[in-house]
Amino acid sequence: MTPRESFPVVPMIQVPAPDPSAPYRPGVLVVDDESTIADTLTEILSRSGYAAVAAYDGESALETALLMPPEMLITDVALPGMSGVDLAIAVRRIFPECKVLLFSGHAGRFEIVDAASRKGYQFPLISKPVHPGDLLDRIAGSLKGRAEQPEAVAR
């Protein structure tokens, strides 16, 4: 997919509102150098019961993680400066319990994930675009077993 191509639009009405009676909101850090993607995913996650924060590069994501330790990191593989895999490794070293989900719009990014595997890290990789419901299912599955989880989106 080229930068000029757009992703399919999913109406925000399909994203459920958070349950105000649920006090626990798992922290999710979303990192993508395309601010529209990071901000949209953050909004979807926030509306789905997560305490989501966006960052647009690896360095600011690390600073954010130190201020608000995430329970999950969702990062694009291709970031300016520090790659998403390097960010994931750094976050996992600081916060060993943090779950990681990598995503990429480029099929050629799998070699970067293989490099992480050689360093002893196994991070799941999903392709962009991803339907919000599928992403929410992956997040809920990754965080399963933690304190109360927000419900996955009904499709």
pLDDT digits (tens, 9 = 90+) for 95-142: 999 999 998 877 556 677 777 788 888 888 888 888 888 889 999 988
Give the CATH number for residue 114.
Answer: 3.40.50.2300
Where residue 76 falls among pLDDT bands split at 50, 70, 90? very high
Where residue 155 falls among pLDDT bands split at 50, 70, 90? very low
Please state the domain count of the chain: 1
Domain assignment present for residue 31? The answer is no
Angle at 33 between CA 27 and CA 35, to 5 degrees: 75
Domain assignment present for residue 4? The answer is no
Helices 132-143 and 35-47 pack at an angle, to 10 degrees, of 60
Start-end of H helices in 48-95: 58-67, 84-94
Percent above pLDDT 70 for the chain? 78
Domain assignment present for residue 83? The answer is yes
Domain assignment present for residue 51? The answer is yes
Global pTM reads: 0.77
Where residue 16 falls among pLDDT bands split at 50, 70, 90? low
- Among 4-13, 70-79, 108-117, the range of highest mean pLDDT: 70-79
Among the ranges given (56-60, 78-82, 97-101, 112-116), the one the predictor scored with the smallest mean pLDDT: 112-116
Domain assignment present for residue 146? The answer is yes
- Among 20-29, 82-91, 102-111, the range of highest mean pLDDT: 82-91
Domain assignment present for residue 92? The answer is yes
Domain assignment present for residue 131? The answer is yes
Domain assignment present for residue 118? The answer is yes
Residue 7, pLDDT > 80, answer no
CB atoms within 10 A of CB 22: 12
